[in-house]
Structure 1
Amino acid sequence: MEEEERGSEEAMLLRQHRKEKKDLQAKIQSMKNSVPKNDKKRRKQMTEDIAKLEVELDEKHKQELAALTETQSAHTETQSAQTEINSVTNGVTGLDLGAEVPPQQPRVSKAQKRREKKAALEKERDERIAEAEIGNLSGARHLESQKLAGILSERQLQIKHIPSDGHCMYRAIEHQLKERGAALTISNLRHQTADYMQSHADDFLPFLTNSSTGDMYTQDEFEKYCGEIANTPAWGGQLELRALSHILKTPIEVIQADSSPIIVGEEYSGKPITVVYMRHAYGLGEHYNSIEPLSDPPAE
């Protein structure tokens, strides 16, 4: 009966967690729908807010699971001790010197119970992930990945996955440069991009607008924007790609799922640097990956 109660508590907590995650995803989608895609500054703030919400919910769930596990372990230990006392008392009371004492069943250690508990939670998590992946087969992320895999396989290429940490565009460029033997770090690329845009403000300033007023950036706002490029994990986009093509004197090709590739820096000759742009790669939104030679046949 006690095992059933503990199992019921765990199931209730996991159901609560699934509901809270579902509610958060609905809230995130509402946040995304409320911000225009071309409003880069507000989308950046929205991305930071979403990441904070996801981290806070994940930490809350971890603490609740840990608290439940600790409570149940303490309860189990207390019950085990009481059972052992009762067993000894009953054994002394009904002791028959002429009868053989049956062997005592081995106790399950507290550490073993924790391992079993952890294994059960991991199994539950794996089952939820599997269910989500099955449901995602018809989702935008899966369809986009399938299209990109087909486009790249025709060139004998495949996606080289890049972490989604705000540096993804610069990491993709860095990976391509390393393949060519050029040693430029993300910090180098970011600072050179900021410096180039500042020294060619007339080429970039007209394309940046204040999300609150709709007016073109002031000089101070533009300087702040360039400072964020150099010193923070601010997402990069087409303006930064344009600056990088001039810095590297190289065309940059952007492959997308639903349209023809875009070439930035067409005025330069030579083999383009190629990156992959994904709209639905992560819950936080847009993302850049790099490419590499195709090593295995595309998965079905």
Structure 2
Amino acid sequence: MEEEGVENLSPQETLSAKHKKEAKELQAQIQKLKHSVPKGDKKKKKDVAAQIAILEAELEQKHEKERQELNDTSAKGVDETAEQLENLSTSVTQNASQPKKPSKAQKRKEKKAQQEKEREERIREQDIENLSGVRHLEAQKMKSILGKRKLKIFEIPSDGNCLYCAVEDQLKRKGIESSMQQLRQKASNHMREHRDDFMPFLTKPESGDPFTEDDFDNYCKELESTAAWGGQLEVRALSNVLKHPIEIIQAEGPPMLIGDEYKDDALLLSYHRHVYGLGEHYNSVIPYTESDEEEELS
């Protein structure tokens, strides 16, 4: 009986139940991490608190993305159903009145008119999305935040290597040469050498179970040898390896400073949730130039 109840849940209810389960698992993981901090060890306590904040933020971002995908799928299903009903109604009406079979010229004319109608509808929908969509809103917020600090975005390609390419760009501007692949290798090696600082924060996406030693080794291997996207754990690893703080500016929420124990100027990155269809993305952040300020005023 219980399985039947689960099968009868709507997609929204199923997703909500999944999110509740994942949130509960995260809380259990957080409690385990808190209990792992030796009494009086302030540095370890601070590091664990930072990692907990990262885990909570990443889970919320994952849930928001899944909710958006479900909403998009549901809207598409409603549109398809409405179109099917309209076609069925048209077919029934035509059969009842038994009109004359349209000529080929009439069919071509009707097809052209329908294509034009659909094109205009797509343009209208795109105009609405451009003005009120999440990408546009995020871009506007980011521009405002960066503008107040006389900063701007330096675009990085969205190919899975964006974190490392953005850090590479920041280092190059400071006269430090380190390629994207070298940064991947350094981050991977650091995580292997300090696995106790990283492995507790990684779980299997399909089950929520903690990583095993083999899981962690495979994760590090993918980090160094594929275009696997980098998250907050990789940012921490890069900060430790480079001995540089890394500041991540985001449209939703305050900037996140990782590696504040290092005294050099922070490497500046921007984090975007909606700017590309592939999902989350990092760009490099650089100062305004005089020409940028003149263009802003004109």
TM-score by length of 1: 0.57
* 2:199 paired residue among 194, 205, 223: 205
CA gap of 1:173–1:133, structure 2 versus 1, over 3 A, is farther
User: Which residue is equivalent to 1:141?
Assistant: 135
- Deviation for aligned residue 1:284: 1.9
- Deviation for aligned residue 1:132: 1.9
Uncovered stretches (5+) of structure 1, i.e. residues with no partner: 1-30, 47-123
Work out whether residues 251 and 270 of structure 1, in 8 Å CA contact, stay in contact via their aligned partners in 2: yes
Uncovered stretches (5+) of structure 2, i.e. residues with no partner: 1-14, 23-56, 67-117
User: 2:214 matched to 1:220?
Assistant: yes
Q: How far, CA to CA, are the matches of 1:146 and 1:298 in structure 2?
A: 14
CA gap of 1:248–1:288, structure 2 versus 1, over 3 A, is same
User: 2:233 matched to 1:242?
Assistant: no
Work out whether residues 161 and 290 of structure 1, in 8 Å CA contact, stay in contact via their aligned partners in 2: yes
- Deviation for aligned residue 1:206: 0.2
Deviation sequence 1:144-165 (CA, Å, 0-9, x none) = 1111111111111111111110
- Deviation for aligned residue 1:259: 1.1
Which SS does the other structure have where 2:176 is aligned?
coil
Which SS does the other structure have where 1:290 is aligned?
strand
Work out whether residues 153 and 298 of structure 1, in 8 Å CA contact, stay in contact via their aligned partners in 2: no
User: 2:275 matched to 1:281?
Assistant: yes
Q: How far, CA to CA, are the matches of 1:299 and 1:286 in structure 2?
A: 31
User: 2:241 matched to 1:251?
Assistant: no
Correspondence 1:282-297 to 2 at 5 A: 282-294=276-288, 295-296=292-293, 297=295
- Deviation for aligned residue 1:137: 1.3
Work out whether residues 149 and 298 of structure 1, in 8 Å CA contact, stay in contact via their aligned partners in 2: no
User: Which residue is equivalent to 2:153?
Assistant: 159
Work out whether residues 271 and 281 of structure 2, in 8 Å CA contact, stay in contact via their aligned partners in 1: yes
* Structure 1 consecutive aligned stretches of length 4 or more whose deviation exceeds 6 Å: 34-37, 124-127
Equivalent pairs: percent with the same residue?
A: 48
- Deviation for aligned residue 1:131: 6.1
Deviation sequence 1:206-225 (CA, Å, 0-9, x none) = 00011233221000000000
User: Which residue is equivalent to 1:269?
Assistant: 263
Work out whether residues 268 and 286 of structure 2, in 8 Å CA contact, stay in contact via their aligned partners in 1: no
Q: CA RMSD in A?
A: 3.2
TM-score by length of 2: 0.57
- Higher Cα Rg, which structure: 1
Deviation sequence 1:10-43 (CA, Å, 0-9, x none) = xxxxxxxxxxxxxxxxxxxxx9xx8978579x99
Q: How far, CA to CA, are the matches of 1:135 and 1:211 in structure 2?
A: 31
